[in-house]
Amino acid sequence: METGKEIAVFLMLLRAGLWRKPIENLDYFPLNQTTWERLYQYGVQQTVEGILFEGVQQLDPSLQPSKSLLLKWLVRTEKIRQRNRWMNTRLVEQAQFYRNCGLDPTLLKGQGLAQSYVDPTLRMSGDIDWYFDQPQAFARANAEVRQFGLPLIEAGKISSNYHWQGCHVDQHAQLFDLHNPFVKSYLKELEEHFDDGSTLLIGKTEINVLSPLLQTIQVNAHILKHLLSFGIGLRQICDAACLYAYYSTALDGQLLKEVYQRLGIIRWVAVLHQLLVDFIGLPEQSLPFHLEKEQDATWMMQDIWTGGNFGFYDTAYVKSKEGQFVGRRLKIIRLWKSFWRYLPYAPLEAISFPIVHYRSGR
């Protein structure tokens, strides 16, 4: 079981690595080898080990872990950097493939979000996600992928996925991970009104990305979706913090606040903002609008810490050895607890999510 001291040190190292700042409090150091090993494992579980290693580099060598662990950490961090370069190559290939097919999708999350980091190569890369804003374009993309000889692993009405040279690719026909049916038309209005033609340069290739406003809503909605299901890790929380810092002068804070209110998630966003400031180290002035009153974000931080990377490390709900029935029962328990935990903060979303989840058979 992790201790309060270990979590405090972990978050200090994370903040130092994320923002390239000195360690805030050296009173916790030096650490013994066992503690360092545990911190390393926490980083792996939360998929932020590269950022954490950058934080370790802010320490005097006499306070750093053993050479053997430092070397293992260095090698893993270098592999993250290599993976990012490899992913960017695959990203450019896919963009060119789609354009050759007469399609021009928008990149979501992932490699696009990484560009908001102080060091983009330290963000652990995941899948590549493309968004097609018209149903016809989404259907055409599925057909072109098949014709190219790549089987679709899953092909639903709003999402499909396949492998491109070892890279998992998701195609989406829906932009926002919000399930409240009463805001669907409003979300479409936002999408149409705030599509500003933003692009990102990867190498010499321009990649379509969302406008700052749409990207912020999309990223935070994605976090809420996973908190309502089986959990999310600190990597995605770091994404939100870096995005706010990167777009601090580009976002219309009052407009964004009104959007959150209209979507019915403003109370949850308030807790998220407090968490970003208190635990991730986002400067309060980088928030799009001021914190009106101090929130207690400790409970949500505990939820994120326990769940790890998309809930894979939540020992209370991982797949049981007793079979599928028990595993399904544990999932239902997790969904039920998430429902009650987030109901006061995003009521209509908390109510809508399990209904959609159940109807989809997931």
- Confidence at residue 330, expressed as pLDDT on a 0 to 100 scale: 62
Q: What are 333-362's pLDDT values in tens digits? A: 878 888 889 999 999 999 998 887 666 655
Tell me, what amino acid is at 190? L
Is residue 102 in a domain?
no
> Coil, strand or helix: which one is 158?
coil
Q: Does residue 316 contact residue 330 with C-beta atoms inside 8 Å?
A: yes
- Distance, in Å, from the CA atom of 136 to the CA atom of 142, rounded to the nearest integer, reads 10
Asked if the structure places residue 297 within a domain, the reply is yes
- Residue 233 forms part of a structural domain: yes
| Residue 362 included in any domain | yes
Angle at 234 between CA 232 and CA 238, to 5 degrees: 120
Question: Average per-residue pLDDT in the chain?
Answer: 91
For the chain, residues with pLDDT lower than 50 are 1, 310-312, 315, 317-328
| Containing structural domain, residue 316 | 182-194+221-362
- 235 within a domain of the structure (yes/no): yes
What does DSSP assign to residue 320? Answer: P
Which H or E run includes 263?
A: helix 253-263
Do the domain assignments include residue 350? Answer: yes
Residues 116 and 80: their CA atoms lie apart, in Å, by: 17
In a domain, residue 253? The reply is: yes
Say what angle helices 347-359 and 324-342 make with each other, to 10 degrees.
160
Helices 212-228 and 234-246 cross at an angle (nearest 10°) of 160
Query: Taking a C-beta distance cutoff of 8 angstroms, is the pair 125, 60 a contact?
Result: no
In this structure, is residue 160 part of a structural domain?
Answer: no
Q: Are 248 and 325 in contact (CB under 8 A)?
A: no
- Give the chain's domain count: 1
Question: Residue 299: which residues within 8 A CB-CB, separation 6 or more?
Answer: 341
pLDDT for the residue 325: 41
DSSP β-ladder status, 159-164 and 167-172: antiparallel
